[in-house]
Amino acid sequence: MIDYLEFARRGRIVWWRYLLTLVLAVPMAGLILLVPLGTLMLLHVLPPDFAAALQRPERGAVFFSGVAVTFGALAIGLAAAAYLIQGKRFSDIVGRWRWSFYFGGAAVWFAVQLFLALIDVAIAPHGFSVKADTATIFVAFWAFIALGIQTFSEEFIFRGYLTQAFLLATGKPVPAAIASGLLFGSMHLANGTVQAINAVVFGIVCSLIAIRTGGIALTSGLHLVNNYFGAIILVSASDVFKGSPGFFTQDTPQLIWSDLALAIAALLVVGWLALRTRILSPGPEITLRH
């Protein structure tokens, strides 16, 4: 059975090729974005305020479409650049893929999110309200597809390509996971300190899980539920998805730090269980002590 370090070693892995790949990935993603955007412009189907709508979760389908296309283009651009510069295949970066891991990660994290939400309801019931209307079902369906693309793309980039790069550079899972997590968290600084801290811990735990399981399947399922729950199931007034036409809303600013503490605790528990569960190991060849 192949471990994650073996996947990372595939292709041409001289350090400067990683830098060149990342530099090339951005313009390639831009070129990929031109295809759908150019087509829509030619068909005159874009709304007049399209650019503004991409930044507003309350615009539902337009917002989530923009998220999917943008992150999908970044992942495709990186995959293409990695293949051209390093000879790395898409599957080399994805690693070991099992649908049972994907759905298992999704199921576990949905249960965790629901449990954490019920704790908040018990503490501050007046901060919750029902928001669903006739448009919610369509948006919920579309967001599931769009966020599936977005979260897989983020896993491909951060827990796939970058975690593998850091694993090769450091030779050890924990430093590699910390480096990847810090970089992932820095991408969330614009969303506020709380979400950036959560993203750092989320990134570290998911990187360790990816190394442990030999791929990004489990973390992709976990990540999808994490974002979908916050975007559609229970939309927080202090979250990046605030205003999204979800089923329920939460406006409890007094719980923001306790929610962060509970989320981090849940991540650590899930991460610990994943690292301790033998069935998730890619086999006896895994090298967690390099």
The model's pLDDT over 189-199, given as tens digits with 9 standing for 90+, comes to 988 999 999 99
Domain assignment present for 176:
yes
pLDDT tens string 5-22:
999 999 999 999 999 999
Question: Which pLDDT value is given to residue 40?
Answer: 73
Of all residues in the chain, what percent carry a pLDDT higher than 90?
76
Assess contact for 129 and 252: CB atoms under 8 A. no
pLDDT tens string 204-242:
999 999 999 999 999 999 999 999 999 999 999 988 899
Q: Identify which of 17, 5, 169, 6 has the alpha carbon closest to the alpha carbon of residue 83.
A: 17
Domain assignment present for 285:
no
Domain assignment present for 71:
yes
Overall domain count for the chain: 1
Domain assignment present for 199:
yes
End-to-end CA distance of the chain: 17
Phi, psi (rounded to 5 degrees) for 250: -130, 125
DSSP state of 85: H
Question: Which pLDDT value is given to residue 290?
Answer: 35
Give residue 19's domain range: 4-280
Assess contact for 221 and 274: CB atoms under 8 A. no
pTM score: 0.91
Question: Which pLDDT value is given to residue 49?
Answer: 72
Question: Which pLDDT value is given to residue 284?
Answer: 41
User: Is residue 112 scored above 70 in pLDDT?
Assistant: yes
Domain assignment present for 170:
yes
Assess contact for 77 and 29: CB atoms under 8 A. yes
Rounded Cα–Cα distance for residues 5 and 209 (Å):
13
Domain assignment present for 210:
yes
DSSP H stretches of helix in 160-239: 163-170, 173-186, 193-213, 217-228
Domain assignment present for 191:
yes
pLDDT tens string 135-157:
889 999 999 999 999 999 999 99
pLDDT tens string 154-191:
999 999 999 999 999 999 999 999 999 999 999 999 88
